[in-house]
Amino acid sequence: MRFRNLHTGETLDAEYWRNGGYAPDALDAINHVLRDHRTDEAHTMDVGLLDLLHDLSRRLETREPFQVISGYRSPQSNAALADASSGVARRSLHMEGMAIDIALDSASTEVVRDAALALGRGGVGYYPNPGFVHVDVGRVRRW
C-alpha cells in the first residue's frame, strides 16, 4: 500500500498483508499517515477499505501512491467541514475510518471513478473539481 498525504507531505510504502495476515506495524503506520491533519488525531482504518484500495490499484495497474486528500476525520473536523459545505455528510464514514478521498497522478478522476465502480464495493463519489474520488466500504452507492 502506497500513500502520499497531500496535507502533511508524508509518504508511506507499507506491506499491510504478510504471511497470511494483516501486519500490525504496517496498519499502525497507515493509521498515522491517514490521520486527521487538522487535529493530528489517528484512528484505526477499516482493513476492508485497505483491501478495496489494494484491489483498486490492481485494477488500475498502478503501483504509484494514492494521493490522500482526506482519510480519517475527527468528529470536530467533519462538523466544521459540513458547516462550511453542503457536500460533506454529517455522518461521514471518514469518522469511522471507512472512507478516503484519493487521486492519482497517472489516472484521471474519471478513470479512478470508473475502476472503483467496477469493483462494486461500497460508495463511490466523483468530484472532478477539485479532482478526487471518494471511496468507502459502506453500502454500494454512487454520486
pLDDT at residue 69, as a whole number = 97
Whole-model pTM over 0.85: yes
The answer to whether 73 and 36 have CB atoms below 8 angstroms apart is yes
pLDDT in tens, 72-127: 999 999 999 999 988 889 999 999 999 999 999 999 999 999 999 999 999 999 99
pLDDT at residue 86, as a whole number = 80
In three-state secondary structure terms, 24 is helix
Q: How large a percentage of the chain has pLDDT more than 90?
A: 96
Per-residue CA distances from 76 to 82, 94, 104 (Å): 10, 12, 28
Delineate the domains of the chain, giving CATH numbers in brackets.
2-142 (3.30.1380)
pLDDT at residue 36, as a whole number = 98
pLDDT at residue 43, as a whole number = 98
